[in-house]
Amino acid sequence: MAFKDLFPGKLGFGTAPLGNMFRDIPEAEAQATVEAAWNDGIRYFDSAPLYGAGLAEIRMGQALEGKPRSEYVISTKVGRLILDEVEDVNARDMGEKGGVFKHGRPNKIVNDYSADATLRSIEDSLKRLKTDRIEVVFVHDLAQDFYGDEWLAAFESARKGAFKALDRLRDEGVIQAWGLGVNKVEAIELLLDLEAPRPDGFLLAGRYTLLDHDLALQRVMPKVTERGLGIVVGGPYSSGALVGGPNFEYAPAKPAILAKVAKIKAIADRHGVSMKAAGLQFSLANPAVAAVIPGASQPSRIAEDRAALNEVVPADFWRELRQAGLVHPAAPLPGGA
């Protein structure tokens, strides 16, 4: 089955916020959010061991327990093992992501992209998720934002370990697809240039959004489309900056980003378009994109995302964005605008 055909619907649910991203989310609120997603008809759920040191997977597993397993698709990630021993969450080296999950569990997180760790990580995730299978596995964060100048060494470790293990699991039918889950385009480029192994698709967070898409558009999307692979777009609202939040790339947004948001919003307001609709529909307009997975930590956000997906956006809005130089000249726009 082609990667893009794995996903039941264009709108999925990103569970990073359920790992207590930025704040301590009450258990009842986390459970209610997943339930709201289910009741909305969302049937694709993405998680990762890193999100709250297993907390997001545990919460997702609890919320989906009892739901018909044949009706939904799970993706999670490998590259980090969550141990039983605890550590000082403030002393963790999370690269550019700092204390994003400081409110999560204090369990020790170990970076390990070996084949053995990959298999163990999947086993651990199955237990936390309370399921017997995972459809899609992404190798997590093989990029500069976590490893700086050492990212190529981490990539090489994964090439010898995780990639081969996942290729085998896919060919054996244990999983249905694998790829990279990253916030940067370079690792995807590098993997696409290898003759083997053969990834099926990628989760690219923050790099194919209305605010930031030039690099991915030029260097990743064409190759992905040519090869019949696919992209899941994470962070379609650019860490909230696009929809009026203070953060871009998990940190306070710089003036240039805030100025771009203001320009887009002025055009959106003129056309009566919500910023969420602009963000989601832009990302989905690229033929390489299989699904978008905005994160949510409140039930009300799910309804907003669904409304944004269904909102009728006039073609003139997209044309004006293009004329104002706010989208790349080659970026596919909804409705062929």
Q: Residue 11 above 90 pLDDT? A: yes
What is the model's pLDDT at position 144?
A: 95
Residue whose C-alpha is closest to residue 181's, from 77, 25, 258:
77
| 77: annotated active-site residue | yes
Catalytic residue among 4, 44, 46, 145: 46
What's the whole-model pTM score?
0.96
What is the model's pLDDT at position 188?
A: 98
Catalytic residue among 4, 44, 72, 77: 77
| 46: annotated active-site residue | yes
Q: Which residue would you say has higher pLDDT here, 93 or 104?
A: 104
Region of 281 please: left (phi>0), alpha (psi -120 to 50) or beta: alpha
Residue whose C-alpha is closest to residue 184's, from 246, 244, 96:
96
| 250: annotated active-site residue | no
Please report which residue ranges of the chain form alpha helices under DSSP H.
27-40, 55-64, 115-129, 144-147, 151-160, 162-171, 186-193, 214-219, 221-226, 255-271, 275-284, 299-310, 315-323
Q: Residue 295 above 80 pLDDT? A: yes
Mean pLDDT of 120-139: 98
Q: Residue 14 above 80 pLDDT? A: yes
What is the model's pLDDT at position 214?
A: 97
Catalytic residue among 44, 51, 72, 237: 51
16-75 pLDDT, tens digit per residue, is 999 998 899 999 999 999 999 999 999 999 999 999 999 999 999 999 999 999 999 999
Task: Measure the CA–CA gap between 290 and 144, rounded to whole angstroms.
Answer: 25
What is the model's pLDDT at position 22?
A: 85
